[in-house]
Structure 1
Amino acid sequence: MSTSLPTSPVDLTDPRTGAPRGTSVRSRLPEVGAAVSAARAALPDWSTLTPKDRGRRLDRLAGLVEEHAAEYAARERAGTGKPESETTGEIEQVADLFRFFATAARARTAPAAGLLVAGHESWVRWEPIGVVGVVVPWNYPLLMAAWRCAPALAAGNTVVVKPAETTPDSLELLSEHAGRALGPDVLVHLPGDRETGRLLVESAVDMVAFTGSGRAGADVATRAGTRRVSLELGGNAPAIVLPDAPDDTWEALADAVTYNAGQSCAAPARVITLPENYEAAVEGLAAALASRLAGRDFGPLNNPDQMDRYDRLIASSGAKRNLVGGIAPAPGEEAGHWRPTTLLADLPDDDPAVTEEVFGPLLTVQRADGLPAALALANGVPQALAASVWTTDLTAGLELVAALDAGETWLNCHLVQTAELPHGGRGASGHGTDLSTLALQEYQRPKTVTVRLGRRS
C-alpha cells in the first residue's frame, strides 16, 4: 500500500556537480488529499470570474514571473543544470504563456450559435472541467508547467501541479506567486516522487494532464479511468535531410540536439539522408557536434538514472561508427552529469538508438534509398511528436512535411515554437494539445443550451 512507502525527504542533487543540494518533501495520501481539497475549495470563486477578470490576474502572475526572473532562473539551474542562456529564454516564455492565455480565453467564440432549429435559439457554453491534476517532467520543470497550467487556469479550472522529484524548486516559487496574483490555492504545488504522482492521478481530480514517458503515460491513463486525460509522451523526431539542404543544416541540427543536452521530446534524433549525401551528413554533423562541448556550450543530463539509461542505449547500439565529442566542465563541476555529443552511423534500422527515445545529445544517421524509403524510415517508429525536413526545394519539402506522421513539423528549422502554434503528439507520443487557443479545449467541456422561442398557443 502507498502508506507503507517511504515518507522521508527526497534527496536533491545538483546535476552540474553531482553534489547534494538539499531535500524536498515526499508527499503521500494526506498531503495529496489536502492539496486537492484546497484546489476544490478555490474552484467556485475562480471559475465564476469573468474571462476578463481571470485574465487580469494571470497577467499579474506573468508580471511577478518577470519581476523575479533571476530567482526563477537560479532555481531552474539548480534543478536542471541548464546554462543561463537557456533558463533566461525559458523564463521569458513562461511569462509570455500566462499573458497569451490571459487574453486567449476572452477571444474564444462558441460554435453552432443561432437559430439552428425552427422556433429555437441555441448556443454553446464552454465550462471548466474542475480541478486539474498536472504532472510535469524534469527536463522543463517550469516551462512544461506553464504549458499545462496557463490554459487550464485561463479556462476556469484550479490546478494541483506535481513536479518531478528532482526539480521541485521553480514550481514552489510559482505557487507562491500564484497565491498572490490569482488567489489562495488556485494553483497548488505538490512536491514528491512517482508514488505522489500516482496518488494524485487516483485522487478526486476531474482531469489529469501528464507529460512524461510512454510507459508512465499508459499507467496514468489506466488509473484515470473515465476522466479526461491529456498525454504528451515523448518523441523520437526524424530529420529528413536531402542533398540540396541549406548550408547551415548541420549547425542548426547540432544546436537543436544540444539544447537542454538533447533532453527535449521534440529534439531531432534520427537524421535520414539519401545515398548521395549520406557521407556528407556524417562528416558535417560530426564536425558540428564536436565543436560543442558539454559544460561549456550545453548543460548536463538531469540525474543518475538518465545517465545510466543513456549509456546503456549507446552501449547496446550496433553502430559501426561512434563519433564522440568532448566535455569541458567548469572548475568544481567535474563530477557533474556531463555527457558529450555523440553521432552514431552505419547502424541497423532496428538499432535501439533508432527505435527508442534517447533523450540526450545524440544523433543517429540513416541512409534511405529514395524519398519513399526516407519517409518510411521517418514514420517507422511508434512515436509521432515532431519532425523536420531540410531542402531548398520548397515543393519537395512541403510534400514531405505533409506526408510525415507528426503533430509538429518544421522545414529548414527545428524546435521553433511559439504560444500561438499548437504542439501535440500522435501514436505512442500521446494525444492532446499544448499551446495555442486550441489548448483551451483540453481544459473545457461544451454544454449545448437550446431555448424554445415564443409561446404555446
Structure 2
Amino acid sequence: MTAAPIQLVDPRTGHVRGESPNGREHDIARAVDAARKATGGWAAYTPRERAYRLDRLADLIEEHAEQYTAREQAGTGKPRAEVMQEIGEAADLFRFYAWAARTATAPAAGGLKAGHESWVRWEPIGVVAAVVPWNYPLMMAAWRCAPALAAGNTVLVKPGESTPDSLDLLASHAADTLGPDVLAVVTGDRHTGRLLVDSDVDMIAFTGSNTAGADVQARAGIRRVSLELGGNSPVIVLPDAPAHTYADLAAACTYNAGQSCAVPARVITLEENYRDTVQALGEAMAERLAGRDFGPLNNADQAARYDRIVAAAGADRDVTAPLATGPGEEDGYWRGARVLADLPDDSPALTEEVFGPLLTVQSARDIEHALDIAHSVPQALAASVWTQNLGHALDLAGRLDAGEAWVNCHLVQTAELPHGGRGASGQGTDLSVLALHEYQRPKTVTIRLG
C-alpha cells in the first residue's frame, strides 16, 4: 500500500511549503533489511575507525551549517540564532560520542575464579529504531543516533512528520562518511512510526508524548526500549531568589516557543512573595516577543492543543505579551509569552504538559508544601531551584524527584552530563558516556587456564 505524501507547512506562515514521502510497510521492510545488512560491517570497525567516520560526519554538519539552518527553519520556524546553536550542539554530540566510545570501561575482569580468566565485552545491540519529535529535529536525532552509532549499531530514524528536512540531509552526509544504510531516515506520519516499532529492529529509542511512549513500550515486547516522554517542570522560587531569576526563567520558557520537555513550566513560590513573583514574571515575559525573540508553535494540532489548555485553565490572572510578527506571518502558529496565576489545583495548565511559551505560578505555605506541589504531577524529568541560600538550594535539588535539577539556572545542558526521566517522563539516559550503555549489551567471556 502506498500512502499519499505528507503536506509540509511553514509554521511561520501556516502555508504549505512542500511534501514528504509517507512511509508504509514496504518502505519500512526495505529500510530495516538494508540496515540489518549494514550491521556487520559497521560493528566490525574498531572504536577508533568508527570515531574517525563520526568525526567526519560532524565536520560535514558544520561545513553545511547554512543548508541545515535553512531546513531547520523551514520546518520549525525558529530564529536563526536558535537554529545555529542547535546545529553546533548536534555536531558536538557526534564528535563527543566518536571519542567517548574509545574510552569505554568494563566491569571487573581478571582471575575472579581460580584457574580461570574472565573479561567483559561491550557489544552493539544491532538495528536501532530512533523515533524523534519535531521540536528539535536535528539535535534530538543526534541525542539518539550519536551514541547508538558510536556503540556499533546501525540506526533508522523516523523524524517528526512536519520536520523531515534536516534529517534527510543528515542521512545523505552519513551515507558519504559512515557508509550506505548505517544511518538512514524513514519519513512519514504516526502510522509510519508504529510500523517501524513493529518491524524487525532490535531496539527502540523514542522521544515523545506519554501516550505514544506507552504504546511504544507495549509494542516493543521484550526488546530494549529507551523512552524520554516529556515533562512538566517545577520551578521553586524562594523569597531570596537572585535578581536575574525572572528574566532567566522567561528566556528559558520561551526558548523554542516553550516546546521543550525540560522547559520551566510550573513556578512555585511561597505565600510571602507570591504576588511579587507573579508581577516580576509578567514583566519579564512581556519583554519576550514572539516573532522577534522566539518562533511559532510547530503545527496546527499543537496550536489547537495549546489554545484548549489556556481556555480551560481557569486563571484569574492572565498576562500575555504582544506579537512581533512580520508581513505574511498573520496565519502562522504564533502565540505570545504568557503568565497564568490564581489557578484552580486541577487546572489543565498545571496538570498537563503545555509545551508552549507559558508559565504558571502557584503559592505554597512553606517549603514542604512547595515540594508537595512540585511532585503533584506524574512527570519527573527536570526541575530548578532559585535562592541565594546554598544550603536550601542543595537540599531542595536533592529532594526534588527529577532526573535533572538546576540551581539558579534552567536548561543548562552539555554532552558530558546525563539527562533522563523518571515516572511518567520515561526511563533511560540521554547524553554523557552513560548513554553509550543504552545501546550496548555486555558479554562475559571466561576461559579455563591450563
TM category, shorter: over 0.9
Q: How far does the alpha carbon of each residue in 1:80-106 deviate from its partner, in whole angstroms, 9 at most, with x for none?
A: 000001000000001100000000000
Aligned residues: 450
Alignment correspondent of 1:255: 251
Aligned runs of 1:321-336 on 2, under 5 Å?
321-336=317-332
1:163 aligns with 2:159: yes
Retained in 2: the 8 A contact 1:244–1:392?
A: yes
Shift of 1:392: 0.4
Alignment correspondent of 1:31: 27
Q: Distance in 2 between matches of 1:361 and 1:109?
A: 42
Q: Distance in 1 between matches of 2:375 and 2:69?
A: 37
Query: Which residue of the other structure, out of 59, 62, 77, is the alignment partner of 2:58?
Result: 62
Alignment correspondent of 1:90: 86
Query: Which residue of the other structure, out of 285, 288, 291, is the alignment partner of 2:287?
Result: 291
Aligned runs of 1:57-456 on 2, under 5 Å?
57-454=53-450
Q: Distance in 1 between matches of 2:255 and 2:115?
A: 59
Shift of 1:350: 2.1
Give the AA of the match of 1:419.
Answer: A
Alignment correspondent of 1:13: 9
Shift of 1:30: 0.3
Which stretch of structure 1 is more off in the superposition, 110-119 or 244-253? 110-119
Q: Distance in 2 between matches of 1:363 and 1:113?
A: 51
Q: Distance in 1 between matches of 2:114 and 2:406?
A: 47
Shift of 1:349: 2.2
Report the secondary structure of 2:174's partner residue: helix
**What are the ranges of 5 or more consecutive residues in structure 2 without an aligned counterpart?**
none
TM-score (structure 2 length as normaliser): 0.99
Q: Distance in 2 between matches of 1:261 and 1:238?
A: 18
Q: Distance in 2 between matches of 1:96 and 1:242?
A: 35
Report the secondary structure of 1:114's partner residue: coil
Shift of 1:328: 1.0
Q: Distance in 2 between matches of 1:205 and 1:154?
A: 18
TM-score (structure 1 length as normaliser): 0.98
* Identical aligned residues as a percent: 68
Give the AA of the match of 1:183.
Answer: G
Q: How far does the alpha carbon of each residue in 1:77-131 deviate from its partner, in whole angstroms, 9 at most, with x for none?
A: 0000000010000000011000000000000011111111122111111000000
Q: Distance in 2 between matches of 1:451 and 1:388?
A: 50
Report the secondary structure of 2:333's partner residue: coil
Retained in 2: the 8 A contact 1:296–1:330?
A: no
Report the secondary structure of 1:93's partner residue: helix
Q: Distance in 2 between matches of 1:87 and 1:356?
A: 27
- The CA RMSD over aligned residues, in Å, is 0.7
Give the AA of the match of 2:94.
Answer: F
